[in-house]
A and B are shown apart, each in its own frame.
Chain A
Amino acid sequence: MSATDPIAAFRIEGGELLDEVEQALLDMGHRLDDMDLVNAVFRGLHTLKGSGAMFGFDALAQFTHHCESAFDKVRKGVVPATSQLVAVILSAQDHMRALLDGRATGGEAAGDDILAALEAAIAEAAGAPPAAPAAKVAGQGWHVVFRLPADCMANGTNPLMLLDELRDLGPCRIVALTDRLPTLEELTPTHCHIGWDVTVETDEPASAVEDVFIFVMDDMELAITPLAVDAAEAPADPANTAPVAAPATAPAAPAAAAPPPPAPPAAAKAAEHVRVPAERLDELMDRVGELVIAQSRLSQIAHQDGGLALRSVSEEIERLAGELRDTMMVLRMMPVASLFGRFRRLVHDLARDTGKAIDLVTTGETTEVDKTVIERLFDPLVHIIRNSCDHGLEKAEDRVAAGKSATGTVHLSAHQAGGEVLITIRDDGRGIDRARVRAKAEANGLIQPDQLLADQELLQLIFAPGFSTAAQVTNLSGRGVGMDVVKRTIESLRGTIEVASIDGGGSTITLRIPLTLAIIDGLLVRVGSGDYVIPLSAVEECLELSGEEDLRSQGRSLITLRDRLVPFLRLRDVFATGTPADPHQKIVVVATGNDRVGLVVDQIIGNHQTVIKSMSPLHRHVGSFTGATILGDGSVALILDIAQLVALAQPREERLRAA
């Protein structure tokens, strides 16, 4: 199992560390003097260096070491953080990712370039006066009172090492605080119940003392007071562990000096998460799917010839299986925050490349979507956001001229509505130029000149293959590939796209995506001797095809439905069943986008909750089916690919019309 491979595990962990570092760096872009962020970056780099060396990623460890040293200067207040420095570290961060994945190209040269840029940034920053000069205290030392979280030793913290490090600063007088020792029967031997009261005589600043605790600081109680102040006060009450902010600490590091709120909640939260390989979740999902199927067979038998006892057990199992399935679905859900987070860097880079000022605002990050959906949404969203930034948003001077703020905004939001998730990408740019879309579509032969189009139809043209309104192809977008891929991906997720645009006011693209891909509501129908499932979301209505209408329509395969002509397909012909038609055939009218098609079936059986199973590779090239499902009696029904069937019907219609 790959999960036990330490190298692979480190790659995953390192990737997450880099994600955190990247987020902190991006935040720093706005708040350069936020010491929490500086510390977060430093800790991330430090951990990466340490574990990198441990797992044999020496190049990574060495490179990270340089960046860490540079950042250490910022943290200690030797040099102020500058946006230039942040930008260099961001690119360094990319290089680390490449080293981590083992796909670094350019070798050491690329790294050296970045390090040279880093040196330059540090030198320049050092030239500027430090934003927050570290307050050098000419005191004789520090009075340190600290208590570690109870479970610190389980996390690998060794209190004795911390004390040793304090001793390295200067002569220490250490008193153990035993006031929180529980009685013997309540004592957990693996927990750390002891606090320490340390008086250390040193010339080092308070930050040196804080450094000792840097990796445990988040969860511990720590109070550092200068000895001079301490002497003036009454001797510190050993029992008083309330945080005492160190007045002499550098003002830029208040958050670091003040201990954060009590740690236990954070520690407990960390323990609540278990990392599970996605494939195991998928396996579990399969098993649950099978259980649901076996259960429905059981309930069929129980209702046919079972006694009361069997029926009640069967109902009990039905309830449990249903609950298990619901729980399972929730397990696969992930907040879209992980998806949205990845676009911050994209927008940051786009802003740099286009020379525009762009803000990315995200809302609704806690909305949860099936994990496979999240993975497949990334590429389409990249395309849409790129388009918004590149084509939608104007240059700063144009924006000001139009009476808008110089900074453009891209708003990314998600919220759940029923069984769907709505993801909206809104920009406040110039909007979609309808006249140009029209001209372009006519030039490409997508529409006839003077063809009447509803507004939505016109706007949807931007998703047509080979379509691009950008007069100039940039390296960002405008090649005319992309938006049609967006549409195809979203449709493969059984989602839809809506476009709205206000001239001069920006455009809004809304993606409607079903919550999960694993289970759909389907309409079970019979064609010939085979059962098929039509996704219920595509079904508009069902009607009867009377015998005389059937005969009459042999020549034209069209029905009139509320004054609109709707073409229909006889699935018996399409599937070449070779069986005689039922006397009472039905038409299921399905729709994709704006196309409607009637599917003639022999019988409508009813609603069916469908666990989707993929088709074998041997059948992947067979169009017309998206997958298959297992029915209550254990037999297999194929799920119709509506988009494919509609597409198949169109040329047929044209052929019929031409004939």
Chain B
Amino acid sequence: MTAWTDDGELEVLTFGLGGETFALEAVLVREILDLMPETQVPGADRLAASVINFRGRIIPLADLRIAFGMTPQEDTTDSRIVVIELMLDDEPVLIGLKTDRVNEVATLLRDAAEAPPAIGMRWPRDHIRCLVRQGGDLIVLPDLPALFTTLIARGGEPTIH
């Protein structure tokens, strides 16, 4: 996982999801795509229920709303797919993330970051790396490796119910 720089800064890409603002390390981002046809993978976990064709490679498309218990929403013209590359089990893995809209590349300050509080939050704590206050807004930094590693370990749901 990318660390804060010595100056206590972190360059991130911020995006909107279910009315909240999320951020992920800018160095992870490979590409930002318009929506494209997706193919459902029967039996896969709902967090990454489909795949897309990313330049001839077949990559999973993850919907972080599932991890944060948000209700699925219709795609809009602002919807984008952010393709990131994560190291999972020492293996680089490309993953597409569905977002409601992509905002900007911003610099977060460690001084403004806080560990997720134990109460007052409806999201699972272990899905969050930290919360960062920025200009009166609260930005959520999800713990992506943790999220997807549990997915690899757990595997999909059985195909036949």
- A residues with a Cβ closer than 8 A to B are 286-287, 289-290, 293, 530-531, 574-577, 613-625, 628, 630, 634-638, 648, 652
CA distance A615 to B93 in the complex (A): 11
Which one of A531, A616, A617, A620 lies within 8 Å of B58 (CB-CB)? A616
Please measure, in the bound complex, the distance between the C-alpha atom of A617 and the C-alpha atom of B91, giving whole angstroms: 9
Q: A619-B41, A648-B159 are in contact. List 11 more A-B contacts (CB 8 A).
A: A530-B39, A530-B42, A576-B42, A616-B94, A618-B48, A618-B62, A623-B158, A630-B53, A635-B39, A636-B39, A648-B160
What does the 1/0 interface line of B111-131 toward A look like (CB < 8 Å)?
000000000000000000000
B97 to chain A: closest CB distance in Å?
12
Q: Are A574 and B59 in contact (CB under 8 A)?
A: no
* Interfacial chain A residues near B155, Cβ < 8 Å: 620-622
16 pairs from A and B in contact (CB 8 Å cutoff): A289-B56, A530-B39, A576-B42, A613-B57, A615-B51, A616-B59, A618-B48, A618-B151, A619-B41, A621-B154, A622-B159, A624-B43, A628-B39, A630-B58, A636-B58, A638-B39
> In the bound complex, what is the Cα–Cα distance between A600 and B52 (angstroms)?
25
Q: What is the bound-complex CA distance between A630 and B152, given in angstroms? A: 24
Q: Given A617-B89, A621-B155, A621-B156, answer yes or no on A290-B55 (Cβ-Cβ < 8 Å).
A: yes
Contact present for A619 and B60 (CB under 8 Å): yes
CB distance from B143 to the nearest CB of A (A): 16
Q: Are A630 and B56 in contact (CB under 8 A)?
A: yes
State whether B159 touches A624 (Cβ < 8 A): yes
Nearest residue (CB) in B for A286 is B56
- Is there an interface contact between A574 and B57, defined as CB atoms closer than 8 Å? no
Which residues of A sit under 8 angstroms from B37, Cβ to Cβ?
634-635
User: Per DSSP, are chain B's interface residues mostly helix, strand or loop, or mixed?
Assistant: mixed
Residues of B within 8 Å of A628, CB to CB, are: 39, 51, 58
Please state if A575 and B42 are interface contacts (CB–CB under 8 Å). yes
What is the number of residues of chain B that contact chain A, defined by CB distance less than 8 Å? 36
B40 at the interface (CB under 8 A from A): yes
Pair A530/B151 contact, Cβ less than 8 Å: no
Residues of A close to B40: CB separation below 8 A: 530
B44 is an interface residue with CB less than 8 A from chain A: yes
In the bound complex, what is the Cα–Cα distance between A251 and B37 (angstroms)? Answer: 77
* A613/B41 in contact, CB under 8 A: no
CB contacts (< 8 Å) of A574 on chain B: these are 42, 159-160
Q: How far in angstroms is the closest Cβ of chain B from A154?
A: 41
**What is the minimal beta-carbon distance from B89 to any residue of chain A, in angstroms?**
7
Give complex CA distance A620, B58 in Å. 12
Is B88's beta carbon under 8 Å from chain A? yes
Are the CB atoms of B41 and A622 closer together than 8 Å? Answer: yes
B95 within 8 A of A: yes
A residues near B91, Cβ cutoff 8 Å: 617
Chain B nearest CB, measured from A647 CB (Å): 11
**Does A616 lie within 8 Å of B42, measured CB to CB?**
no
Is B41's CB under 8 angstroms from A625's CB?
yes
Known: A576-B161, A637-B39, A648-B159. A618 touches B55 (CB 8 A): no
CA gap between A652 and B62 in the complex, in Å = 31
In the complex, what residues of A have CB within 8 A of residue B151's CB? 618
In whole angstroms, how far apart are the Cα atoms of A575 and B152 in the complex? 21
Q: How far is the CA of A287 from the CA of B55 in the complex (A)?
A: 10
Per-residue interface assignment for chain B, residues 124 to 158, with 1 indicating a CB less than 8 Å from any chain A CB and 0 otherwise: 00000000000000000000000010011011101
Q: How far is the CA of A531 from the CA of B53 in the complex (A)?
A: 14
- Check A622 against B93 for contact (C-beta < 8 Å): no
Q: How far is the CA of A635 from the CA of B58 in the complex (A)?
A: 10
Which of the residues A614, A622, A652 comes within 8 Å of B156, measured between beta carbons?
A: A622
A618, B43: Cβ atoms under 8 Å? no
A619–B40 alpha-carbon span in the complex (Å): 11
Q: Contact: A616 with B159, CB < 8 Å? A: no
Q: Which residue of A lies closest to B52 (CB)?
A: A636
B44 adjacent to A293 (CB under 8 Å): no
**Distance (Å) between the CB of A471 and the closest chain B CB?**
40
Roughly how many angstroms separate A634 CA and B58 CA in the complex, as a whole number?
A: 11
B154: which A residues are within 8 A, CB to CB? 621
Collect the chain B residues with CB atoms within 8 Å of residue A617's CB. Answer: 88-89, 91, 93, 152
Beta-carbon contacts under 8 Å, B53-102 to A: 53, 55-60, 62, 88-89, 91, 93-95
User: Chain B: which residue is nearest A576 at the CB level?
Assistant: B42
How many whole Å from A656's CB to the nearest CB in chain B?
12
With a cutoff of 8 Å between Cβ atoms, the chain A residues found around residue B161 in the complex are 576
| Cβ-closest chain B residue relative to A648 | B160
Could you say which of B39, B42, B95 contacts A618, with CB atoms under 8 Å apart? B95
Shortest Cβ distance from B88 into A: residue = A617
Known: A622-B159, A624-B159, A652-B160. A616 touches B53 (CB 8 A): no
CB distance from A40 to the nearest CB of B (A): 41
B154 CB to closest chain A CB, in angstroms? 8
Residue of B nearest to A631 (CB): B53
Q: Judging by beta carbons under 8 Å apart, are B60 and A616 in contact?
A: yes
Closest 4 A/B residue pairs (Cβ): A621-B155, A575-B42, A290-B56, A622-B156
A637 contact set on B, CB distance < 8 A: 39
Residues on A with C-beta less than 8 A from B88 are 617
B6 CB, min distance to chain A CBs, angstroms: 31
Considering the complex, give the chain A residue whose CB is closest to the CB of B37: A635
A614 and B58 CA atoms in complex are apart in Å by 8
Distance, CA A648 to CA B42, complexed state (A): 14
Known contacts: A630-B58, A636-B39, A636-B58. The answer to whether A619 contacts B53 by CB under 8 A is no
- Measured in the bound complex, the distance between the Cα atoms of B41 and A84 in whole Å is 61
The reply to whether B48 and A619 form a contact with Cβ atoms under 8 Å apart is yes
The answer for the CA separation of A636 and B60 in the assembled complex, in Å, is 11
Residues on B with beta carbons closer than 8 Å to the beta carbon of A577: 42
Cβ contact of A623, chosen from B43, B89, B93, B152, cutoff 8 A: B43
